[in-house]
Amino acid sequence: MRYKIQHMANIDTVIVEYLSKGEAYSQELIKETIRQVQLAEPRFDESAFRRWISEGKLDEKQKALFVQMAINDADSNEPRK
């Protein structure tokens, strides 16, 4: 976005394409990182997120991304094996 504002008169479409690809790649990397955390942790739910925030392992902005990836398992509060 910053590039588009600063170079409105002569936007290079190749640069815009690279920026878009970079953004898409970074989003996939974040999702995959969260998936790896989900696989490694015995619990991946709201209580775990709150604990991680209190321990300084996660901040509120990041929590929203983790909540999106969490599986809502209302039938069981048992830790995954």
| 37, burial (CB in 10 Å: exposed 0-12, middle 13-18, buried 19+) | middle
pLDDT digits (tens, 9 = 90+) for 15-66: 888 988 999 999 999 999 999 999 999 999 999 999 999 999 999 999 999 9
pLDDT digits (tens, 9 = 90+) for 3-17: 677 777 788 888 888
**pTM, entire model:** 0.67
**Helix or strand run (H / E) with residue 68:** helix 60-69
Q: What is the dihedral of CA 51, 28, 36, 72, to 10 degrees?
A: 60
CB 54, CB 41: distance < 8 Å: no
